[in-house]
Amino acid sequence: MCRHLAFLGPAEALGALLVEPAHSLFRQSWAPRRQRYGTVNADGFGVGWYADGDPVPARYRRAGPIWADASFADLARVVRSTAVLAAVRDATVAGADGEAAAAPFAAGPWLFSHNGAVSGWPGSLAPLAAALPPADLLGLEARCDSALVWALVQDRLRRGAPAPEALADTVADVAAAAPGSRLNLLLTDGATIAATAWGDTLWYRSGPGRRTVVASEPYDDDPRWREVPDRTLLAAGPSDILLTPLKEPPE
């Protein structure tokens, strides 16, 4: 279910990150190498990036496959950024909400993506949804599981939780309410990256030159790629990576 990528480092063209590598996110939309669930990610895509001097990221999202969007090639060729989050989507429910359900989701300085699926959706998360402020539910960008997971993360961020803690606590709550869910979450504010490996693949590559990439799978065969163990929280800056085991919810 989906492939995603986040980047921090010296300004780089979107195409150099997302299109040009031999096993780029663009190629992963039809030929992922390590995807455990699903084989084609053609139910939408999105890219978010940050411009100098503006903390609020821009987004480009579409409901169709990335390879069918003729405009994206021009965009990717000329847009450069020091921080990017992008995803290609294999929908849990085909056709649900179109472009609105394509990651990255956004709020303020944050970009967010969910690779996975919530078991028993939507009923399994009803108790967690009921605990959110009504305005959060009314403001959901889409009616998919990822949008509600994002609302749960946002609620914690607004209450002052650091990004890694917000992801870890959300994963714990969702996994307890919906056992068997796959919850690879990816979050950035343009200066840091937080991510979880919970049920699907996650890799990272750091350096040289204060450059960090976190992705569902490597986009090339560089030996510096490292796999994140399952049930792990990742917190990263441009030159440092911290991995912390995530606790299984009580049975």
79 to 20, 59, 69, 189: CA distances (angstroms): 14, 12, 16, 18
Out of 2, 25, 76, 233, which one is annotated catalytic? 2
Listed in sequence order, the residues at least 6 apart from 65 whose beta carbon sits closer than 8 Å to its beta carbon are 29, 30, 41, 42, 43, 44, 45, 88
To 10 degrees, what angle do helices 163-177 and 145-158 make?
130
Q: Any catalytic annotation for residue 144?
A: no
Q: Phi/psi of residue 222, each to 5°? A: -60, 130
Rounded to whole angstroms, how far apart are CA atoms 89 and 212? 23
Is the peptide bond preceding residue 122 cis, with omega within 30 degrees of 0?
yes
H or E stretch at 117? strand 110-117
Which of the residues are catalytic? 2
